[in-house]
Amino acid sequence: MSDASILSDTERTSGRDALRKNIQAALALSGSIRATLGPRGLDKLLIDDTGRTLTTNDGVTVLETAKVEHPVAKMLINASSVQDKIARDGTTTTVLISAEMLNNAWHLVTQGVHPSMIARGYRMAEDFCRTELLTLTIDAEKEDLLVATKTALAGKSHEAMRIHLACLSVEAAEIIIDTQSGVTIADPTRVKVLSQSGGVVTDSHLVTGLVLAKKRILETMPKKIGAGKVLLINGGIERRAMASEMKLNVTSPGVLQSFRDKEIEMLVQQVEHLQSLGVTLLACKEGIDDDIRSALNEAGIQAFRRVAREDLDLLARGCGATLLHDVKRATASDLGAFIESRNEMWNGVAHWIVDTEEGGATFIARGSTIDVLGEVERCFADALGVACQLLEEPLLLAGGGATQVALARKLRRYAETIPGREQLAVEAFADALEIIPRVLAENAGLDPINTLLEVVAAQSNANDDISHHFGLDVNTRSPANMIENGILEPLRITRQAISGATESAVSILRIDDVLWAKADATTPDLPEMD
C-alpha cells in the first residue's frame, strides 16, 4: 500500500523542502521582534480582536500576544516563554540566536552536510560555551546588583522609570531573600503586585508585607493588631445549604426558629474553637456569616472574607500556615504567625496590610492609563527577576554583545581541533552568536558588519584578561569596556539563552517530515474546553 493512499487527507512536506519551510518560519518570527533588541530597540503596537492596543518592546510579550499558526514558530515562542520564566530577560536574544543557527544550518545543508551532523556539532558548541562562560564572569558586588538590573530594563520606556523600577526591584529582592541552610533563595513570586490607576510611574512604591484591597468584616474590630496566630480557610464559615432540594412542613413558628438557632450555635462553636487555639487573625476565601461577626469581635479575632486564593497562598507561605477547608479540623500545627496586621485607607479605599515573619513585599504600581500600568508591571517583573537571579547566583558577564563575540572567537579556535564535519557546524554556531552585536548595531543606526569587525578588533588588541569585556556601547556608538561602563548582564540569562536557542534549533533540524491534516469542511469547529 502506497503512502499516498494512507495519507490521502494529509498534506505532507518532507526532506529538504520541509527543512527549508521550517527555517523560513523561524526567520519570519525572529524578524518580527528583531527591532526590539537593545537600548535603541523600537516598540511594537499590538492590537487584539476587540481593538485594544498594547505598546511594548518586550519580545516575549509580542510573541505571546501575536496569533501564530506555524508549529515551528510556536516552538520558538515556547523557547522564549521558558527563557522568560527562568531568566526574566533574554527572550528576544533566544529567538534571534536560534533563527540564525537555523539559517546557517541551511547553508551547510545546501553544501551537503547532513542535518544530524549539524545538530551534533551544535551540541558540542553548546557544551563548550557552557564551560567557557564561567571563565568570562566577574563576581557581582552589591553595587553591581542595581547596575545589572538597570541594564535589563534598557530600551524600556524613559530613563526615570527604569531607574525607579530598578531601585524598587533590588529593594524587593533583598526583602524576600532567604539564606537558610547555606543556600540563597530569592523567590520573586513572594512579591505581590497591586495596580492603582492615577499618578505617574515614579509614584510607584514598595510596601513591606502583603497588601490586599480588603477591609475587616466589622468596623468595630481593631484596625491594628500586633504579633499573633493566623488561620487561613479555603472556604468559609457559613450556614450549609441543603444538599438536595426538599420541602419541610413546619407546623409551628418555633420549629423554624429552632433550626436557625441550631445553625448559629454550630457557627459559634467554630468561633469558640478558634478562640481556644489562640487565633487572632482569620482569612477566608468565601463568606463569613453575618450572625457571628460580633462573636468573632468579642473573641478578639480580626477577620477578612472573600480573599482570593492566590493571596491566601501568599499568606500561607509568609506566615507558615496550612490552608484548610474546614475550621473544625484546625489544630495548633495548622496556624501561622504574623508580626502585624493593620487596616489603612488609601485614596478612599480600605487596604489590609500583613507583615509576616518569612518576609514579603507588595509593589504598588501607579500609572496614568491601563496601558502604562501594564508596562510598569512587566518592567518591574523583569527587573525583580534579574535582581533575584543575581542574589542566588552573583556572577556577571559583559553586555553589549561582548560575551557573544568572545565566545565566537573561542569557538572558532575550538573548531580547528575537530576533524569531522562537525567543525563546520561549530563555526556556524559561532557565526550565529554574533547576530546579537550585529542587531544591536543595526537598531542603533550603525553598520552591523563594520561594527562587529570593530568589536572583534577591540577584543583582539586588548589584554587577554579583559579582552572579553569589550562590546558595543550604543551611547558612544563605538566599542568600549562594558564592565567599566556599567553594562552588565547576569550569567544565568546568557547561559539559558544559548541553551534554549540550541535546543530549539536542534529540535527543528531533526524534523524530516511535516504532516498537515486537511480540515473536513462538513465538520464544524468545536469550542475549546476550559
Indicate the DSSP class of residue 475. Answer: T
Cell of 434: 554574533
Phi, psi of 180 (to 5 degrees): -70, 150
Q: How many residues are recorded in the chain?
A: 530
| Among 208, 213, 227, 358, CA closest to 280 | 227
CA–CA dist 183, 284 (Å, integer): 34
Q: Please, which residues bridge with residue 364 across strands?
A: 194, 205
Cell of 47: 492590537
Q: Please, which residues bridge with residue 55 across strands?
A: 45
Beta-carbon contacts of 305 under 8 Å, excluding residues fewer than 6 positions away, are 217, 236, 283, 284, 286, 287, 288
22, 115 in Cβ contact below 8 A? no
Determine what percent of the chain falls in helix, strand and coil, rounding each to the nearest 5.
50, 20, 30
Structural Rg of the chain based on CA atoms: 29
**Beta strand residue intervals within 277-384, DSSP E:** 279-284, 302-304, 323-324, 336-346, 349-356, 361-367
Strands 395-398 and 205-208: unpaired
Annotated catalytic residue, options 36, 92, 93, 280: 92
Between the two ends of the chain, the Cα-to-Cα distance in Å is: 41
195, 365 in Cβ contact below 8 A? yes
Annotated catalytic residue, options 36, 56, 61, 91: 91
| Among 518, 517, 509, CA closest to 72 | 509
Beta-carbon contacts of 207 under 8 Å, excluding residues fewer than 6 positions away, are 353, 361, 362, 364
Distances (CA, A) of 136 to 95, 200, 235, 403, 473: 23, 40, 53, 8, 18
Annotated catalytic residue, options 89, 144, 311, 382: 382
Annotated catalytic residue, options 58, 84, 89, 311: 58
- Catalytic annotation on 382? yes
| Among 333, 342, 67, CA closest to 226 | 342
CA–CA dist 150, 154 (Å, integer): 6
CA–CA dist 322, 315 (Å, integer): 10
Would you put residue 51 in left (φ > 0), alpha (ψ -120 to 50) or beta?
left
- Say which residue the cell 527587573 belongs to: 383
Catalytic residues: 58, 91-92, 382
